[in-house]
Amino acid sequence: MDTSGPGPSDDPAERVEDRAQGQAQDRARGRAEDRAQGQAQDRARGRAEDRAQGQAQDRARGRAEGQAEDRARDRAEDRAEDRARDRAQGQARGQAQGQAEDRARDRAQGQTEDRAEDRAQGQAPDQAEDREPGTGAGLSERDRDVLAVERRGWPGPGAKERAIRERLGISPTRYYQLLNALLDDPRALEHDPVTVNRLRRIRDERRERR
């Protein structure tokens, strides 16, 4: 005789309970999976945000460093330009001052030499024999003496320069300044055309060679 009772699945109440329990487990499992998936998504989102934030920070840092380098470069260039400008201005001021000093020195030297020449006019008796054949109208005695020096031959190097200092009382530099001005003076040409024309030709040839 079979004494076994009905199995668990044969009881309707148990079947309902099993079904309810299974559904509860499914819901719990679903919630756990959803929670795990949500957490995974949150972590992935967090990593992506961290990565994006890091990249943004890197870009910002790169821009800041680039701007700092640009500013430093600009400052260095400005300083270099300022130093170059200061050097150029210093050189210009030095040149201007040097030129002003040279002009003042030339004027002072010319005045001194003119005074010395005036004093020497009556102290050189041999100048009378070198006077030009012309009348010398309008020319100073110094101008006639300069032309006389050019008309005369001077043997040996340095003889002419010594004569300029001794007879005229001026330096060779001052002498040639006076002579150059005389060559453009029509009164000198009228007074001694042979000497003036010869010296003009020499001057023109030298200018052409330059």
User: Which residue stretches of the chain have pLDDT < 50?
Assistant: 104, 106, 108, 110-113, 116-133
Q: What is the pLDDT of residue 137?
A: 63
Provide the pLDDT for residue 97.
Answer: 63
* pTM confidence score: 0.38
**Tokens at residue 168, please?**
């005229």
pLDDT at position 99: 58
Which SS3 state, helix, strand or coil, does residue 4 take?
coil
What are the residues whose beta carbons fall under 8 Å from the beta carbon of 193, sequence distance 6 or more?
A: none
Nearest 5 degrees, angle CA 201-CA 155-CA 195?
Answer: 25
Please tell me the distance from the alpha carbon of residue 12 to that of residue 95, in angstroms, as a whole number: 121
- Burial (0-12, 13-18, 19+ Cβ within 10 Å), 201: exposed
Give the count of beta carbons closer than 10 Å to the beta carbon of residue 191.
22
Helices and strands, counts by H and E, the chain: 6, 0
Report the pLDDT value the prediction gives residue 4, as an integer from 0 to 100: 57
Distance CA 140, CA 68 (A): 75
Structural domain spans, the chain: 111-209
